[in-house]
Amino acid sequence: MDSSWDDLTLTFSHTSMFPFFDIAHYLVSVMAMKHQPGAAAIARKNPVSSWLTAMLHCFGGGILSCILLAEPPLKFLTNHTNVLLASSIWYIIFFCPCDLVSQAYSFLPVQLLAAGMKEVTRTWKIVGGVTHANSYYKNGWIVMIAIGWARGAGGTIVTKFEQLVKGDWKPGGDEWLKMSHASKLTMLGSVIFTFQHTEHLAISKHSLMFFYTIFLVTAKITMMMTETSSV
Amino acid sequence: MDSSWDDLTLTFSHTSMFPFFDIAHYLVSVMAMKHQPGAAAIARKNPVSSWLTAMLHCFGGGILSCILLAEPPLKFLTNHTNVLLASSIWYIIFFCPCDLVSQAYSFLPVQLLAAGMKEVTRTWKIVGGVTHANSYYKNGWIVMIAIGWARGAGGTIVTKFEQLVKGDWKPGGDEWLKMSHASKLTMLGSVIFTFQHTEHLAISKHSLMFFYTIFLVTAKITMMMTETSSV
Amino acid sequence: MDSSWDDLTLTFSHTSMFPFFDIAHYLVSVMAMKHQPGAAAIARKNPVSSWLTAMLHCFGGGILSCILLAEPPLKFLTNHTNVLLASSIWYIIFFCPCDLVSQAYSFLPVQLLAAGMKEVTRTWKIVGGVTHANSYYKNGWIVMIAIGWARGAGGTIVTKFEQLVKGDWKPGGDEWLKMSHASKLTMLGSVIFTFQHTEHLAISKHSLMFFYTIFLVTAKITMMMTETSSV
Ligand SMILES: [Mg+2]
Ligand SMILES: [Mg+2]
Ligand SMILES: [Mg+2]
């Protein structure tokens, strides 16, 4: 590939997720939480519980990855800025007068934009997870795949476990791993980035991030347009 | 404040919890466990299970704090003296002939004394948790609040989780965090001691420990006298 | 004891578990999993879920011991050879045409041989757990007993927890610790090896391993012959 193309993907791979992409991720996550039956009532009756659930929805992937690597599951709380950002979004979504955010969010282009931006954060999380696991276990490619997947898609696992413990949800025998589309695509991405990291794929990381992100966003928007999406 | 007052609170803050206050804490915790339906029968049929439950009741706050900081949850077992003390109290309460301890404990002044002394250990646990979390994360004040709260009041969370896993208890959607009074007061204390530790409160730690303990004990005894207490 | 006897037990204690004894352990564990209702159907419908369950059955003791010592629960995945071995056995057992392995396994002498060899791995796991815990906590003999027990018999705890979370199993109040025979014998072994390690027993480790293994294998085979065995 010629140099200007390389420059483009390199620049893209240096995009900071903070604040706009993170905001989109928190917005989509907390809106998904709000659409669960009874969520709005709980937020008024017991805001501490609702806030904790919102944090699990926003930072679930990171928490799961911490548990699997025996790092403190509270580590996400040390990033004060992001916790504050997620808390503000939780507050605005649940307590804004006239439910303005929900009304704006019900407008399809807004949903598509937010969902697309959330998918971008997924690529960054997978790459972060794979790199982080590699710093623990040099040749542990199975662990790298697992942590990349946990960071990128583990939020749903944590959220389901929380619902199970709260008694809101009863699992059938194999429902846990009836993987959503997002989960499968994250697994695929985790495998690809692990192979790239262990130098079994002859493509630069920034190009791969560019192509994989394009693929994720396209897949997500296609699924949303054809109504088969699961968050 | 004059010097003799300062001396008093300083001396108070150096009080050792071992052995008398610890004994009170184990006594109150194991008696609370014994009042659950079926506890006495299980102790005879399956003493290992009963002993484990008693340990969770006595050391639950420490276990939760260890999990949240990714320290070994078995760490409490290395303090042989305290484990032995708690085990002895469990043994005496469940297997003493004529149920002497239960009869003595049904005498209100004994309950008030034990409950008051247990509240004193709570202050020490909150301060210990806040200090310990600060040694991990220098500026992580959210983590400090969380760990102070987990040490001081996390025992009920661990105990409820144990009952859930055993099938003895089914949660409703928001019952987990319908915080007890003790839980709320612990949260308040954790916030205060964190602010003191980060030097946002112009009061010495030993004075604060003194006042907070007086407040906790008074609140607890008032609640017990007016029958609204939850252990 | 004379020198040639000592040589025999020393040689025995240097036996490598890899590959034959490990194969027997994986074979017995995955066959036990296959005998659960619906396991074969899930393997075809959702192989990822079935594979994960198989890994929990094969490496459950190690995972539990990691959790209790705050080591990464994914650590077993870094032993690529053993993961590959266990995965192959899972694949052969569930997907071999004509169910050849199941038919061979239904032949009693094969079952006895595999079960006997699995018991040998148990001794090695207990010794490994006790030694490993001692490297963390020099005098923590309660922790040593707990970790030895967790490595040797914790697989059933992990497996039951997995079934609980999946909704396949509802516990009664004290079913968790209605310890199986294997569990009790493991506890006994863990206590003995801890006392040996802390030099309270005047017997060499290799002799003790020899006698305890003989005892475990004999007990297991006797139980299987008299039909009272629980895996
Ligand atoms: Mg997430
Ligand atoms: Mg406690
Ligand atoms: Mg095992």
Classified as helix, coil or strand, B168 is: coil
Residues of chain C above pLDDT 70, percent: 94
Query: How confident is the model over A44-57, as a mean pLDDT?
Result: 91
Q: Any chain B CB within 8 A of the CB of A168?
A: yes
Q: What is the 3-state secondary structure (H, E, C) of chain A?
A: CCHHHHHHHHHHHCCCCCCHHHHHHHHHHHHHHHCCCCHHHHHHHCHHHHHHHHHHHHHHHHHHHHHHCCCCCCHHHHCHHHHHHHHHHHHHHHHCHHHHHHHHHCCHHHHHHHHHHHHHHHHHHHHHHHHHHHHHCCCCHHHHHHHHHHHHHHHHHHHHHHHHHHCCCCCCCCCCCCCCHHHHHHHHHHHHHHHHHCCCCCCCHHHHHHHHHHHHHHHHHHHHHCCCCCC
Q: Which ligand is nearest to the CA of B57?
A: 2
pLDDT tier for residue A170 given thresholds of 50, 70 and 90: confident
Predicted confidence (pLDDT) at residue A29 exceeds the cutoff of 70: yes
Q: Any chain A CB within 8 A of the CB of C86?
A: no
Query: How confident is the model over A103-110, as a mean pLDDT?
Result: 90
Chain centroid, CA C224 distance in Å: 17
Residues of A in contact with C83 (CB under 8 A): 142
Q: Nearest by CB to A78, which of B68, B143, B172?
A: B143
Count residue pairs from A and B with Cβ separation < 8 A: 54
Q: What is the 3-state secondary structure (H, E, C) of chain C?
A: CCHHHHHHHHHHHCCCCCCHHHHHHHHHHHHHHHCCCCHHHHHHHCHHHHHHHHHHHHHHHHHHHHHHCCCCCCHHHHCHHHHHHHHHHHHHHHHCHHHHHHHHHCCHHHHHHHHHHHHHHHHHHHHHHHHHHHHHCCCCHHHHHHHHHHHHHHHHHHHHHHHHHHCCCCCCCCCCCCCCHHHHHHHHHHHHHHHHHCCCCCCCHHHHHHHHHHHHHHHHHHHHHCCCCCC
Looking at residue A131, what is its pLDDT? 96
Q: Nearest by CB to B45, which of C139, C140, C174?
A: C174
Q: Nearest by CB to C140, which of B42, B77, B165?
A: B77
Q: Nearest by CB to A164, which of C45, C72, C165?
A: C165
Single out the residue of A31, A24, A51, A4 nearest to residue A162, CA to CA. Answer: A51
Range with lowest mean pLDDT among A131-135, C167-171, C221-225: C167-171
pLDDT tier for residue A45 given thresholds of 50, 70 and 90: confident
- Closest residue in B to A42 (Cα) is B174
Q: Any chain A CB within 8 A of the CB of B109?
A: no
C112 near C205, Cβ under 8 Å? no
- CB distance A46–B137 less than 8 Å? no
- Sites in chain B below the pLDDT cut of 50: 229-231
Torsion sign across C-alpha atoms C79, C84, C87, C92: negative
Torsion sign across C-alpha atoms A212, A213, A215, A220: positive
Which of the other chains make 3 or more beta carbon contacts under 8 angstroms with chain C?
Answer: A, B
Predicted confidence (pLDDT) at residue C230 exceeds the cutoff of 80: no
Predicted confidence (pLDDT) at residue C170 exceeds the cutoff of 80: no
Single out the residue of B143, B147, B142 nearest to residue B126, CA to CA. Answer: B147
Q: How many Å lie between the centroid of ligand 3 and the Cα of residue B74?
A: 20
At A201, list the tokens.
Answer: 């794929």
Single out the residue of C189, C152, C167 nearest to residue C64, CA to CA. Answer: C152
The shortest C-alpha distance from C142 to chain B (Å) reads 6
Looking at residue B230, what is its pLDDT? 47
Query: How confident is the model over C22-42, as a mean pLDDT?
Result: 92
At C97, list the tokens.
Answer: 């045409």
Q: Any chain A CB within 8 A of the CB of C4?
A: no
Predicted confidence (pLDDT) at residue A15 exceeds the cutoff of 80: yes
Q: Any chain A CB within 8 A of the CB of C71?
A: yes
Predicted confidence (pLDDT) at residue A174 exceeds the cutoff of 90: no
Dist. CA C61–CA C50, nearest whole Å: 18
Q: What is the ipTM of this complex?
A: 0.92
Residues of C in contact with A149 (CB under 8 A): none
Looking at residue A230, what is its pLDDT? 47
Single out the residue of A205, A214, A163 nearest to residue A60, CA to CA. Answer: A163
Residues of C in contact with B42 (CB under 8 A): 173-174
Query: How confident is the model over C147-152, as a mean pLDDT?
Result: 96
Which residues lie closer than 8 Å to B68 by C-beta, 6 or more apart? Answer: A72, A73, A74, B146, B147, B150
At B4, list the tokens.
Answer: 């003799």
Predicted confidence (pLDDT) at residue A158 exceeds the cutoff of 70: yes
Q: How many Å lie between the centroid of ligand 2 and the Cα of residue A158?
A: 26
Classified as helix, coil or strand, B156 is: helix
- Closest residue in B to C173 (Cα) is B166
Residues of A in contact with C72 (CB under 8 A): 68-70, 136, 143
Q: Nearest by CB to B173, which of A66, A70, A168?
A: A168
Dist. CA A137–CA C189, nearest whole Å: 33
The shortest C-alpha distance from C72 to chain A (Å) reads 4
Residues of B in contact with C140 (CB under 8 A): 77-78
Looking at residue C174, what is its pLDDT? 59
Looking at residue A226, what is its pLDDT? 87
If you search the block for the tokens 């403190």, which residue do you land on? A72
Q: How many Å lie between the centroid of ligand 1 and the Cα of residue A63?
A: 8
Name the DSSP letter for residue B138: T
Q: How many Å lie between the centroid of ligand 1 and the Cα of residue A21?
A: 12
Chain centroid, CA A123 distance in Å: 9
- Picking from B49, B74, B169 by the largest number of C CB atoms within 10 A of its own CB, the best residue to mutate is B74
Is residue B188 domain-resident?
A: yes
Count residue pairs from A and C with Cβ separation < 8 A: 54
Is residue C231 domain-resident?
A: no
Looking at residue C231, what is its pLDDT? 44
- Closest residue in C to A177 (Cα) is C49
Distance in Å from the first CA to the final CA of chain A:
35
Q: What is the CA radius of gyration of chain B?
A: 18
Q: Nearest by CB to B38, which of C68, C143, C173?
A: C173
pLDDT tier for residue C181 given thresholds of 50, 70 and 90: confident
Is residue B27 domain-resident?
A: yes
Predicted confidence (pLDDT) at residue C229 exceeds the cutoff of 60: no
Is residue A13 domain-resident?
A: no
The shortest C-alpha distance from C78 to chain A (Å) reads 5
Q: What is the CA radius of gyration of chain A?
A: 18
Query: How confident is the model over C94-101, as a mean pLDDT?
Result: 87
Q: Which ligand is nearest to the CA of C129?
A: 3
Is residue B9 domain-resident?
A: no
Q: Torsion angle of alpha carbons C130, A67, C170, C168, nearest 10°? A: -110
Distance in Å from the first CA to the final CA of chain B:
35
Looking at residue A175, what is its pLDDT? 65
C30 near C90, Cβ under 8 Å? yes
Query: How confident is the model over A76-97, as a mean pLDDT?
Result: 94
Q: Any chain A CB within 8 A of the CB of B40?
A: no
Domain that holds residue A158: 18-225
Looking at residue B205, what is its pLDDT? 93
At C57, list the tokens.
Answer: 């059955």
Is residue B130 domain-resident?
A: yes
Predicted confidence (pLDDT) at residue C169 exceeds the cutoff of 80: no
Query: How confident is the model over A219-230, as a mean pLDDT?
Result: 78
Dist. CA B149–CA B127, nearest whole Å: 10
- CB distance A165–B170 less than 8 Å? no
Q: Give one word for A201, left, alpha or beta, with left for phi > 0 and alpha for psi -120 to 50.
A: beta
Q: Nearest by CB to B171, which of A66, A78, A166?
A: A166
How does pLDDT run across C127-148, given as a tens digit for each residue? Answer: 999 999 999 998 899 999 999 9
Q: Which ligand is nearest to the CA of C58?
A: 3
Is residue A68 domain-resident?
A: yes
The shortest C-alpha distance from C172 to chain B (Å) reads 6
Predicted confidence (pLDDT) at residue C51 exceeds the cutoff of 80: yes
Q: Any chain B CB within 8 A of the CB of C74?
A: no
Chain centroid, CA A161 distance in Å: 16
Single out the residue of A34, A80, A85 nearest to residue A57, CA to CA. Answer: A34
Looking at residue C67, what is its pLDDT? 96
Looking at residue A100, what is its pLDDT? 86
Query: How confident is the model over C69-94, as a mean pLDDT?
Result: 95
Is residue B5 domain-resident?
A: no
Classified as helix, coil or strand, B92 is: helix
Looking at residue A3, what is its pLDDT? 83
- CB distance B142–A71 less than 8 Å? no
If you search the block for the tokens 């790298």, which residue do you land on? A144
The count of structural domains within chain A is: 1
Q: Nearest by CB to C142, which of B71, B80, B166?
A: B80
